A and B are shown apart, each in its own frame.
Chain A
Amino acid sequence: MPIYIDISNCIGCRTCEAACQIEHEGNGRLNVHYVEDLAAVPIFCHQCEAACCATICSPRALQKDGEMMIFDEEKCTGCGLCAFACPFGVVWVDRIAHKCDLCRDREGGPACVAACPAQALFDDFDEAMRRARSRTALALATPGGVR
């Protein structure tokens, strides 16, 4: 259950970044990037199926468990290999690794999803599918494509 992003809704307010930092005591695990003046894109951990960060982790602090990534702080040595093995650059290392854990200990799902004022983030697969379908339908129905 990763976090899905609808970029066309994102207003670039960075509320998700702030919510993540508050939830994780100053160690945010996501970053909002701006592509020229076209769009704002929050960059998240993809919760990869064959996760590179888990492959490289020699003390097995990062492990894939079902759909989720489990991070064991006790085992982490802070070598920093996982940060450089992540294709999307969403692992930060500062003494120990900081990586999105989908706010496991928080009631009511991830903090960024709850905080997003524009409904650009959601963790519901059906919602993601619904939006993708409506986007495709709109593109088909609009002559000359969607702006």
Chain B
Amino acid sequence: MTVTWRSMPGPLRTLARWVTIVQLVGYTTSLVFVWHTTRLVPPGVAARYRGVDPETTQAEMQFPKSFAQMLTITHTHLLSMAVIFLLTGLGVALCARLSERWKRWLIAEPFVALLVSFSAMWLMRYGDARFSWLLEASSAVLAVTFYVQSYLILRELRQVEREGSQVE
């Protein structure tokens, strides 16, 4: 028997809908924060992690992130984002309207992108600033995947609720 959102109890579908909505708000807020600190462009990202010579600008000072700060950023983001994508991955896995192939791709892709993003972050900090472009690209893929996953989950849940109300 295939387990889908249709075979799930109503209260679990309600939980999934609201968790997805709150995650959407949270993820969007985090993107606004990154826009505020880096303008979402690779040179801004590189400046945030590698610092900027205070003499070359009159803007806010930016110093290179310390090793301890890098470790803190990495472990907090990797663990929390893994949980976010665990939840959206579960939601996608229960969608009946998606093919098996698409489901597997959508579920696995964010975890790969997470590893690429944080590897790029370390390479950018201690290696070459140009790795900020890789970080930007993989983070963009991550964000797009998150919004696609959330849309698919909410669409599926709405469809199941509509079918349920029609049967009643």
**B is bound to A:** no
By a beta-carbon cutoff of 8 Å, the part of chain B in contact with chain A is: none
